[in-house]
A and B are shown apart, each in its own frame.
Chain A
């Protein structure tokens, strides 16, 4: 009798545990479903878009006027805007981020690290809409007061605030790569009579180069996908220009501006969101994959 009860309890426990195990598996599989969901949703609507508009017009056309009576679907201005913001923010963030990483891993005392690291973490946690607000109401007026001929919305302010935004990302990933360089490598360089700066630039940075490159690429991918800061600071007019003083619209800002307005469901205008989104997804995905490949190479290098 008692043995029976014990047996029943063990069986019910086994069933519960089987269920729990498979619930966990399902939770893991949800991530794959999400990815396929993203690809399917974007591809499905983008396919309808490209049935109406030729890919050649989309990728090489110089005019983006999808809501006009005679619409033009050349996405080059949007891509140029995205490129401008990405390149400009990289100019700001990559050197500063890398130098801070070097400072933290090679120069800073533990006490200062305890101040600088949380400061960067907070900087990384500030919502992007706040950066956009500051770009519009703080950075642009300051730059204007220096005599720069800026529009109210301009690529320069957008690039600067996005650059500030991605500094923490560059720093934390580069620092990891620098910390992975073995101490013996540094000591060997010191033993040959190199100064500290020489050890860092000639030995440490070279040894960590693939990890640093990975951090750069990931940061650029973040800048490409950033929406709110560029919408607020850089503007909402598609503009094929290389002047950083003018208003531009990035791919992300176009999506944000279009969904905010009332686009009729199923129209070609509605499908542009997905076509632009698909292009954006493809860009960031390839950047992220490249970055991951570089990190893997770094791990192999030090193993």
Chain B
């Protein structure tokens, strides 16, 4: 901070300086405060809903017995399937752009295109999924249709974070491996990818938390409003936690809002756990 006492800055300018600094500090404090308020708002409302019955129960029509078990399992199914589809494809695309591709116009176009896809509203992916997976491929309102839609949605995230991860590996590592006689693919599989595994994993977690929290596209591709069935296979109908939250929030009675807040606590706990893992991984990665 400049020392005003010895400088010739006028009182008015000093005051302006202080006001500006105060504004910046205030905004930052507000940012942290907002997070606290958001979390507190959900916890205060929904804490009483968190009973063992809530986790075991089905989304019944009676408030007192309603629970999140099918939604929880549905979310799990969709996250795991989404990762199973989007990770291999996303990492392969990143490898193509970062390690294999020459600087052709096609590759520049792919790169710009991925940046654009990252900004497409999620509900548009839902419409795409509705037209392609639900109707054209005939998957119907099934888990596989939802996971395919979600995979397209998270692919740009996976590709962009993997690209960044690959860039952190120094060129000298690759050159050393090639100089030992490894082929480019051996270098990639045994040197470059293992060396960038921590930041790639961070990207994976980002994709997973996106897939857990997204609601709009699943609304479009036909997640159920309520279900008595637990999904047992990829062709089964399903519901997920965010959809459950959405439905309960839309009810007029306050008791449903308590249930919604309870489900929000469960959802946020899962997301915070994922985020914590990502932060630990990132700190580990920056130490290399």
Contacts and interface: CB of A to CB of B under 8 A. Distances in A.
Interface of A: 13, 16-17, 20-21, 23-32, 34-35, 37-38, 41-42, 45, 95-96, 99-100, 102-104, 106-108, 112, 115-116, 118-123, 125-134, 136-138, 164, 167, 171, 190, 193, 195-198, 200-201, 218, 221-222, 224-228, 231-232, 252, 255-256, 259-260, 265, 273-274, 277, 280-281, 284-285, 288-289, 292
B28 interface: yes
A25 B96 contact: yes
Interface string B33-44: 011001001100
B120 interface: yes
Contact of A21 (B19, B45, B100): B100
Contacts of A30: 89, 93, 155
A289 B118 CA distance: 12
B93 A24 contact: yes
B249 A28 contact: no
Contacts of A289: 116
A227 B215 contact: yes
B248 to A, nearest CB: 9
Nearest to B189: A20
A31 B220 contact: no
Identify whether the interface residues of B are mostly helix, strand, loop, or mixed.
helix
Contacts of B96: 24-25, 27-28
Contact of A37 (B25, B132, B242): B132
A108 B28 contact: yes
A156 B128 CA distance: 31
B249 A132 contact: yes
B122 A127 contact: no
A256 B31 contact: no
Nearest to B89: A27
Contacts of A259: 126, 130, 219-220, 222
Contacts of A34: 117, 128, 152, 155
Given A107-B21, A195-B9, A265-B135, 9 more contacts: A27-B88, A28-B107, A42-B127, A133-B42, A256-B220, A260-B225, A277-B124, A277-B127, A281-B124
Interface of B: 1-2, 4, 7-9, 13-14, 16-17, 19-21, 23-28, 30-32, 34-35, 38, 41-42, 45, 88-90, 92-93, 95-97, 100-101, 107, 109-110, 112-117, 119-128, 130-132, 135, 152, 155-156, 159, 183-185, 209, 212-216, 219-220, 222, 225, 242, 245-246, 249-250, 257, 260-261, 264, 267-268, 271-272, 275, 279
A228 B31 contact: no
A25 B124 CA distance: 25
Nearest to B14: A195
A255 B220 contact: yes
Query: Which one of A133, A224, A265 has the greatest number of beta carbons of chain B within 10 Å?
Result: A133
A118 to B, nearest CB: 6
B140 to A, nearest CB: 12
Contacts of B16: 195, 197-198
Nearest to B214: A127
Contacts of B122: 225, 227
A125 B128 contact: no
Nearest to A134: B41
Contact of A99 (B27, B38, B159, B242): B27
A136 B246 CA distance: 11
Contacts of A31: 93, 110, 113-114, 117, 155-156, 159
Contacts of A190: 2
Contact of B13 (A23, A41, A195): A195
Contact of B32 (A106, A115, A288): A115
A118 B279 contact: yes
A18 to B, nearest CB: 10
A123 B117 contact: no
A26 B106 CA distance: 12
A218 B92 CA distance: 28
Contacts of A281: 120-121, 124
A127 B32 contact: no
A277 to B, nearest CB: 5
Contacts of B125: 38
